[in-house]
A = this chain, B = another copy of it.
Amino acid sequence: MARFFGEVPSSPMGATFGSRRELAAAGVHTPLMAGISGNGREGVDSIVVSGGYQDDQDYGHVILYTGHGGNDPATKRQVADQQITAPGNAGLVRSQLEGLPVRVIRGAGGDRAYSPPSGFRYDGLFRVEDHWSKIGRAGFRIWQFRLALLDGAPASGDLPNIQASGPVPRVATTVQRQVRSSAVIEQVKLWYQYRCQLCSELLAVATGPYAEGAHIRGLGRPHLGPDVPGNVLCLCPNDHVRFDNGAIYLLDDFTIVDALEGKKLGRLRLHHKHRIDLAHVRYHRETHAT
């Protein structure tokens, strides 16, 4: 069964659970032992924050969460470096790169200000904003993740405000570009194993490959393009910017044209299952070619 991302309808924000077994039975956090549910291929659907790592910091709507690994199973003490490629850690990076929502469950062992008095509580969907490593209090390398509460929450918004937790003045930055993801986009990326359909580049980061989905005919007014595989390309970020801004378009035979130089750049890479709708290719060409 596919991993389930997002809120479990029968367990809204604030739902409480007496034990890990109850959490698992409700589908809110399915592993009985692990604090992180997920892996580097799929991403992470839920985590439990319960004070197991002394380097965790809980600010309510923002959590600095320590990854897994390097603990002695008997004493729970850190005895070795953590690896970013460990499944749960690579999974949290995947969630960051894809913008996937993570269910956060707080347990009674965590920070007193934000944790339930006993058992476990589902505290809403968070997004992974950042990850980094440092030497933890035990003297070994740990990986940490900044999670921020999403939409519908009192202290935050759909757009996590990075200024709110730092010394940068509120007016200092604006959103320059937003890249969106969807289940359809994920399907298209998997067909190409994240390789760019335009330039064939495989952009690799420490935990695996990265690509973006580009809608050929845009969503929203006035284009009203559909979110279906036939309207999506798997592109590297550079070619995504070019494709969206009139530097590249496609001919009906999927020849790639450099609109600025007026020359052909070869053919679009195509997976046999990927049936691109030519009506969208023509719409893009007519609306974006200069």
Contacts and interface: CB of A to CB of B under 8 A. Distances in A.
Interface of A: 6, 57, 59, 62, 64, 83-85, 93, 97-101, 127, 129-134, 144, 146, 157-159, 161-163, 165-168, 171-185, 201, 203-207, 210, 212, 218-224, 226-227, 236-238, 240-242, 245-247, 259-260, 286-290
A153 B184 CA distance: 31
Contacts of A177: 97, 99, 177-179, 212, 237
A85 B165 CA distance: 40
A133 B182 CA distance: 26
Given A132-B223, A168-B226, A178-B179, 14 more contacts: A93-B245, A100-B174, A127-B174, A130-B218, A159-B178, A166-B223, A168-B220, A172-B227, A175-B178, A175-B179, A177-B212, A204-B260, A205-B246, A206-B245
A153 B22 CA distance: 42
Main secondary structure of the interface of A (DSSP, over half): mixed
A168 B85 CA distance: 35
Contact of A224 (B84, B167, B246, B259): B167
Contacts of A224: 166-167
Contacts of A203: 238, 241-242
B241 A240 contact: no
Given A157-B158, A204-B260, A237 B241 contact: yes
A163 B85 CA distance: 35
A287 B146 CA distance: 13
